[in-house]
Amino acid sequence: MKYGHFDDSAKEYVITDPRTPNPWINYLGNEDFFSLISNTCGGYSFYKDAKLLRLTRYRYNNVPADSNGRYYFIKDGETVWNPGWQPTQTELDFYECHHGLGYSRFHSKKNEVEADLTAFVPLHETCEINRLRLKNTGSEPKQLTLYSYVEFCFWNAVDDSTNFQRNLSLGEVEVKDSVIYHKTEYRERRNHFAYYCVNRPIDGFDTDRDAFLGAYGTIQNPKAVRENISGQTMASGGAVIGSHRIVLNLAPGEEQSLIFILGYAENPEEEKWEALNVINKKPALQTIQKFADEKTVDQALADLNDYWNQLLSRYTITCSDEKLARMVNIWNQYQCMVTFNMSRSASYFESGTGRGMGFRDSCQDLLGFVHLIPERARGRILDIAATQMEDGSAYHQYQPLTKRGNMDIGSGFNDDPLWLIAATAAYIRETGDLSILDEEVDFDNNPTKKDSLLEHLKRSFNYTLTHLGPHSLPLIGRADWNDCLNLNCFSKEPGESFQTTGPSEGPVAESVFIAGMFVKYGAEYAHLQELLGNRLEVKRARKAVEEMTEAILKDGWDGEWFLRAYDASGEKVGSSENEEGKIFIEPQGFCVLAGVGVENGYAQKALDSVHRHLETKYGIMLQQPAYQTYHLNLGEISSYPPGYKENAGIFCHNNPWVSIAETVIGRGNQAFEIYRKTCPAYIEDISEIHRTEPYVYSQMIAGADAPKHGEAKNSWLTGTAAWTFVNVSPYILGIRPDYSGLLIDPCLPDSLDGFTARRIWRGCEFEIEVRRADRSNGEQAGTFVDGAKIDGSLVEPDGKQKLHVLKLL
The per-residue pLDDT for range 69-89, each reduced to its tens digit, is 999 999 999 999 999 999 999
| Mean pLDDT (whole number) for 105-121 | 98
Residue of 630, 636, 510 lying closest to 570 (CA atoms): 510
How far is the C-alpha of 226 from the C-alpha of 75, rounded, in Å? 8
How far is the C-alpha of 581 from the C-alpha of 565, rounded, in Å? 11
Helix count (H) and strand count (E) of the chain? 20, 45
pLDDT at 27: 98
- Looking at residue 736, its amino acid is R
pLDDT at 36: 98
β-pairing, 802-808 with 764-771? parallel
pLDDT category of residue 534 using cuts at 50, 70 and 90? very high
pLDDT at 280: 98
Q: What is the pLDDT of residues 589-645, one digit of tens each?
A: 999 999 999 999 999 999 999 999 999 999 999 999 999 999 999 999 999 999 999
DSSP string, 723-735: HHHHIIIIIIS-E
Query: What is the enclosing helix (H) or strand (E) of 767?
Result: strand 764-771
Q: What is the pLDDT of residues 255-293, one digit of tens each?
A: 999 999 999 999 999 999 999 999 999 999 999 999 999
Q: Which one of the listed residues 480, 483, 705, 745 is annotated catalytic?
A: 483
- Cβ-contact 113, 136 below 8 angstroms: yes
Indicate if 483 belongs to the active site.
yes
Residue of 261, 266, 263, 300 lying closest to 283 (CA atoms): 266
Q: Is the pLDDT of residue 452 over 80?
A: yes
How far is the C-alpha of 255 from the C-alpha of 253, rounded, in Å? 7
pLDDT at 503: 87
Which residues are 213's β-sheet partners?
none
Percent of the chain with pLDDT over 90: 93
pLDDT at 403: 76
Percent of the chain with pLDDT over 70: 99
CA torsion angle for 534, 535, 541, 546 (degrees, to 10)? 160
pLDDT category of residue 505 using cuts at 50, 70 and 90? confident
- Spell out the long-range contacts of 637-644 with Cβ–Cβ below 8 A and sequence spacing 24 or more: 637/482, 637/484, 637/485, 637/486, 637/581, 639/484, 639/498, 640/484, 641/706, 642/703, 642/705, 642/706, 643/702, 643/703, 643/704, 643/705, 643/706, 643/707, 643/709, 644/700, 644/702, 644/703, 644/706
Averaged confidence pLDDT in the chain:
96
pLDDT at 218: 95
Q: What is the pLDDT of residues 210-237, one digit of tens each?
A: 999 999 999 999 999 999 999 999 999 9
